[in-house]
């Protein structure tokens, strides 16, 4: 397990979470940080994990990786390995998610005024990551120069 967790982004996540183990926290990450190995490791450390995941990461199931862009809208492919679920869902684009506490259940949501079935993990991700995206959006209007050394 330690061999799979040697990347710089993984170390950033582990350093941020140091001292918070086994307290029931849920970590929401975007695809820059997430991987199946990290999700499994965090679950062992007492964290739940939710987020988007790049389909090019190691240990992503082949049938999830190979979801076709021309498949029907609303198609869901989900695979579980122990506590980790990887899901690909076709919306306007293919959305790939990873979670340690969801299954592939759906709810009826709306998109452009039309009802559609959406995975619950997508709803939870959008709810928890929304504040970060809003902060990033507001900060983007105020570009700051950094000192160069």
Domain chopping of the chain, boundaries: 18-141
- pLDDT tens profile 20-64: 999 999 999 988 888 888 999 999 999 999 999 998 888 888 888
The mean pLDDT of the chain is 85
- pLDDT tens profile 132-145: 666 667 777 777 66
Tell me how far apart the alpha carbons of residues 76 and 97 are, in angstroms, rounded to a whole number. 11
Residue 120: which pLDDT band, with cuts at 50, 70 and 90?
very high
Contacts 24+ apart (CB under 8 A), 102-110: 102/50, 103/78, 104/76, 104/78, 106/76
pTM: 0.78
* pLDDT, average across residues 62-79: 86
Percent of the chain residues topping a pLDDT of 90? 31
End-to-end CA distance of the chain: 37
Phi-psi map region of 133: left, alpha, beta (phi>0 left; psi -120 to 50 alpha): alpha
Instruction: Tell how far CA 52 is from the center of its chain.
Output: 2
Tell me how far apart the alpha carbons of residues 138 and 40 are, in angstroms, rounded to a whole number. 33
């Amino acid at each position: 397990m330690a061999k799979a967790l040697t990347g710089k982004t993984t170390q950033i996540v582990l350093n941020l979470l140091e001292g918070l183990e086994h307290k029931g926290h849920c970590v929401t990450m975007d695809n820059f940080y997430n991987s199946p190995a990290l999700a499994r490791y965090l679950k062992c450390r007492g964290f739940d994990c939710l987020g988007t995941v790049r389909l090019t990461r190691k240990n992503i199931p082949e049938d999830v990786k190979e979801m076709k862009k021309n498949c029907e809208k609303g198609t869901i492919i989900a695979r579980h390995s122990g506590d980790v679920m990887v899901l690909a869902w076709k919306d306007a684009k293919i959305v790939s998610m990873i979670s340690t506490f969801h299954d592939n259940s759906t709810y009826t949501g709306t998109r452009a005024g039309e009802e559609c079935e959406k995975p619950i993990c997508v709803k939870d991700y959008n709810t928890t990551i929304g504040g970060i995206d809003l902060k990033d959006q507001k900060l983007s209007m105020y570009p700051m120069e950094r000192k160069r050394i």
